[in-house]
Structure 1
Amino acid sequence: MQDIPIEPVRGRPVAAETTTGPNGLSRTLILALGTFAVGTDAFVLAGFLPDLAAELDVPTATAGWAVTAFAAAYALGSPLLATATARVPRRALLVTALIVLGVANLASAVATTFWLLLATRVLAAVGAAAFTPNAGAVASALVRPEARARALAVVVGGLTIATALGVPLSDVLGEWLGWRSALAAVAALCLLAAAGVAAWVPSVPAGPRIPLAARLSVLRNRTVAATLPLTTLGMAAAYVVYAYAVPAFEALGIAPSSTAWVLALYGVGAVGGSLSSGYVTDRWGATRLLTVGYLVMAAALAIMGALAATHAQVASLAGPLAAAWGAASWCQTPAQQHRLIEAAPQEAGLVVALNASCIYLGIGAGTLLGGIAIGRGAGTMYFLGAALAAASVVYLRATAKRVTPGPLAPVPASGRP
């Protein structure tokens, strides 16, 4: 789903039986359960936004702010939390982050006002931003060096599966029992994962403290600085419509009770796009892949916009178009990560962490724009997403040829530029 930034772990080595024994890789499964909970929580509200809006007495467009608040808090909080918690032992940090995420979801489930819900979504984002990057770092420390790629694939798999299954299943649960029950289920999953990490994951020392100024100094690399805005723009295009999936699909003839199945097809497309992106990037290059991906996204959203605007409710087309939209949305993440690491190979952990922040910044911006557009009809919302996808192609082609990697300016030991 999203890239997991990996930071080095410094201090006492993990016990030998942890890194070389047969259980090292299996222990990453509990970390994948945590990333599955995080991935589900990030977009769980999309499946029942109108119900939430009606119960808390706010317009549907305003209810979308709950998704925006989570995404924005994650984007802005991730680098700050990475700096503030650098010296905290990793297992304790992971357990605490999951407990915070679980408690925040319980608070969201019992929120009596929309503003209280917003506050709890921000708190949930804090837990998610503390857990996800460190889950990747711990997974890489639990196994032998030759198994690290598999360990990271397991952890990232939790996020990917959440896109395909977590959100649709939550939508089904919300349809049966209400949106509060869906949030409570996510909370239970988070607390279960916290207990599993505490019981099953061995102690891993804290990593080195990297000052915030040092983390941001990589932006002096001209290619990195030019590449990161594309992540935000592309994810904004992908998520203009997603948070408002129920009214958006209803305009295509999909009943609210059937939204989960269309979201599941979106998820299948997202998984396929994410998994194939690395192979295609290696074979044909990131720029070609991204160009095709953004064009497919623009076309899928434009077709859905035309169907919605003309009231041509062809429900049979919604599923394939949603799958194409999902594939195009999530094929961009591995390709962008590849471009960034290629531009700054010595700062891979930092650029991937910044890319993760830009992903959530784009999700927040896209959701905010979708809330503004939905008042003008679902067709307008679809067309806005298509326009942003087309703009992503223009930006990509304009920057891919002009910008070449530039050296990083040295950063003093103090971390000040």
Structure 2
Amino acid sequence: MSLLSLGTFAVGTDAFVVAGFLPRMSVELDVSLATAGQSLTLFAVAYAVLSPVLASVTATVPRRLLLVVALAVLAIANAGSALAPTFAVLIVSRVVAAAGAATVTPNAGAVASALVPPGFRGRALAIVVGGLTVATAVGVPLGNLASRAMGWRTALALVAVLCLVVAIGLGLLLPKLDGGPNLPLRARLSVLRDPAVRAILPVTVLGMAAAYTAYAYAVPAFEAVGVPAGDSQWMLFLYGVGAVAGAQSAGHLTDRFGGVRVLTWGYATMTATLLVLGMLAHWHVVVPVLVAVLSLAWGASSWCQTPPQQHRLIGAAPESTALVIALNSSSIYAGIGAGTLIGGLAGATHPSWLFFSGAVIAVLAGVFLIRTSRRPAAQ
């Protein structure tokens, strides 16, 4: 299980480290901060589109081989990003990276689910998602530090090395698991006809969009609440600590209380946290200790979503575990892309709207969750 978590850690580091050096990247590639932020948007959109397609194309490939090849692709793509001479080349390399990431994450979740009894599924998924959340804890602040110490290109090159190391580890130590049946994409996507699945996936999109309106622009967002750019890595680290705690506790709480209750509390916490951060930015109030506490709560509420959502989807379509996890991964990155886009537009009017726009979307996520969770299969 820890090997799978290492795989998602590599993916998460690749996906989230960019936020740590976005300002420096925009300067060197001679684009605006909002334009540089669209590298996150396009990565997320490519991931969302490619995840179900690649799940179908690679369905019969043995899981160990598939994970190793996908991580190798991710390594090559990050090397390409590190060497990119222009923003256009960077975008192409980020799309290739998204293809690798879109293969790793859902298959890691599916393998984890297959290796444990149903009563421990929430905890197993939380361990795998823990790789992503640990990446937010160390990937973004280390990306920020690495960018200032040795440049963002070197930081991406180190991510490429990390992906290769994890690929080798999985190739040597992961148990051999066969692939699934060979079904066309249309047959695989037939699970979307299930009303419960259709009710669950939009919650993921809305929830991740709410989390990412400000997080994608974390450095200027923290500057808006009085945290100097040079100190933002500490708030990012606290966000990541909260993310790890939120994901791990959500897995245990989901097994005990069900996904809907965990998510309801999560969206309520996210709304309150983003509202307070928005008010601090709007009124130019500087309270570093409060921002630190809010960073922890923001991370916890953002990353408590994935284990209960995966648990709900597997419960709704247990015969299509790999596919529904792939669709949930698509929804995660669709939400990240939407949140990045909305945050870039909203934050251009005033930095406080980086937070306020996320709070509004978190309310929508909570309302949609409550209205659609009355079906037993959507619990």
Match of 2:29 among 56, 72, 77: 56
State which drifts further: 186-195 or 330-339: 330-339
Question: How is 1:203-218 mapped onto 2 (pairs within 5 angstroms)?
Answer: 203-218=176-191
Structure 1 residues 358, 131: closer, same or farther in 2, change over 3 A? same
Structure 1 residues 90, 404: closer, same or farther in 2, change over 3 A? closer
Question: How is 1:174-189 mapped onto 2 (pairs within 5 angstroms)?
Answer: 174-189=147-162
Counterpart in 2 of 1:73? Answer: 46
In the TM superposition, residue 244 of structure 1 has moved relative to its aligned partner by 0.1
Q: SS at the partner of 1:337?
A: helix
Task: Say whether residues 1:248 and 2:221 are aligned partners.
Answer: yes
Q: TM-score if structure 1 supplies the norm length?
A: 0.84
Counterpart in 2 of 1:381? Answer: 354
In the TM superposition, residue 279 of structure 1 has moved relative to its aligned partner by 3.1
Match of 2:263 among 266, 283, 290: 290
State which drifts further: 246-255 or 187-196: 187-196
Counterpart in 2 of 1:85? Answer: 58
Counterpart in 2 of 1:349? Answer: 322
* CA deviation string 1:185-223 (max 9, x = no partner): 101111222233344446543332232122211122212
- For residues 250 and 204 of structure 1, what CA distance do their matches in structure 2 show? 47
- For residues 285 and 256 of structure 2, what CA distance do their matches in structure 1 show? 39
Question: How is 1:219-230 mapped onto 2 (pairs within 5 angstroms)?
Answer: 219-230=192-203
Counterpart in 2 of 1:22? Answer: none
Match of 1:302 among 255, 266, 275: 275
Asked if the contact 1:222–1:404 (Cα under 8 Å) also holds between the matched residues in 2, the reply is no
- For residues 258 and 175 of structure 2, what CA distance do their matches in structure 1 show? 39
- More helix by percentage: 2
Counterpart in 1 of 2:140? Answer: 167
- For residues 140 and 281 of structure 1, what CA distance do their matches in structure 2 show? 15
In the TM superposition, residue 53 of structure 1 has moved relative to its aligned partner by 0.6
Asked if the contact 1:222–1:405 (Cα under 8 Å) also holds between the matched residues in 2, the reply is no
In the TM superposition, residue 57 of structure 1 has moved relative to its aligned partner by 0.8
Letter in structure 2 aligned against 1:96: V
- For residues 376 and 177 of structure 1, what CA distance do their matches in structure 2 show? 33
Q: SS at the partner of 1:241?
A: helix
Letter in structure 1 aligned against 2:344: G
Q: SS at the partner of 1:131?
A: helix
Letter in structure 2 aligned against 1:332: Q
* CA deviation string 1:4-57 (max 9, x = no partner): xxxxxxxxxxxxxxxxxxxxxxxx544433321111111111111111111111
In the TM superposition, residue 258 of structure 1 has moved relative to its aligned partner by 1.3
In the TM superposition, residue 148 of structure 1 has moved relative to its aligned partner by 8.7
In the TM superposition, residue 152 of structure 1 has moved relative to its aligned partner by 6.0
Counterpart in 2 of 1:24? Answer: none
Question: How is 1:109-148 mapped onto 2 (pairs within 5 angstroms)?
Answer: 109-137=82-110
Counterpart in 1 of 2:307? Answer: 334
Structure 1 residues 294, 148: closer, same or farther in 2, change over 3 A? closer
In the TM superposition, residue 151 of structure 1 has moved relative to its aligned partner by 7.0
In the TM superposition, residue 121 of structure 1 has moved relative to its aligned partner by 0.6
Letter in structure 2 aligned against 1:302: L
Letter in structure 2 aligned against 1:205: D
Structure 1 residues 251, 151: closer, same or farther in 2, change over 3 A? closer
* CA deviation string 1:291-313 (max 9, x = no partner): 22111111111111111111112
Structure 1 residues 198, 286: closer, same or farther in 2, change over 3 A? closer
Counterpart in 2 of 1:43? Answer: 16
- For residues 336 and 61 of structure 2, what CA distance do their matches in structure 1 show? 29
* CA deviation string 1:104-145 (max 9, x = no partner): 11111111111111111110011111222333455677x787
- For residues 241 and 77 of structure 1, what CA distance do their matches in structure 2 show? 25
Asked if the contact 2:56–2:183 (Cα under 8 Å) also holds between the matched residues in 1, the reply is yes
Asked if the contact 1:139–1:148 (Cα under 8 Å) also holds between the matched residues in 2, the reply is no
Asked if the contact 1:31–1:193 (Cα under 8 Å) also holds between the matched residues in 2, the reply is no
Asked if the contact 1:46–1:244 (Cα under 8 Å) also holds between the matched residues in 2, the reply is yes
Asked if the contact 2:109–2:325 (Cα under 8 Å) also holds between the matched residues in 1, the reply is no
Question: How is 1:351-366 mapped onto 2 (pairs within 5 angstroms)?
Answer: 351-366=324-339
Asked if the contact 2:5–2:129 (Cα under 8 Å) also holds between the matched residues in 1, the reply is yes
Task: Say whether residues 1:192 and 2:165 are aligned partners.
Answer: yes
Q: SS at the partner of 2:217?
A: helix
Question: How is 1:387-398 mapped onto 2 (pairs within 5 angstroms)?
Answer: 387-398=360-371
Q: SS at the partner of 2:226?
A: coil
Counterpart in 1 of 2:73? Answer: 100
Asked which structure has the greater CA Rg, the reply is 1
Q: SS at the partner of 2:216?
A: helix
Asked if the contact 2:129–2:307 (Cα under 8 Å) also holds between the matched residues in 1, the reply is no
Structure 1 residues 162, 292: closer, same or farther in 2, change over 3 A? same
- For residues 256 and 294 of structure 2, what CA distance do their matches in structure 1 show? 26
Gaps of 5+ in 2: none
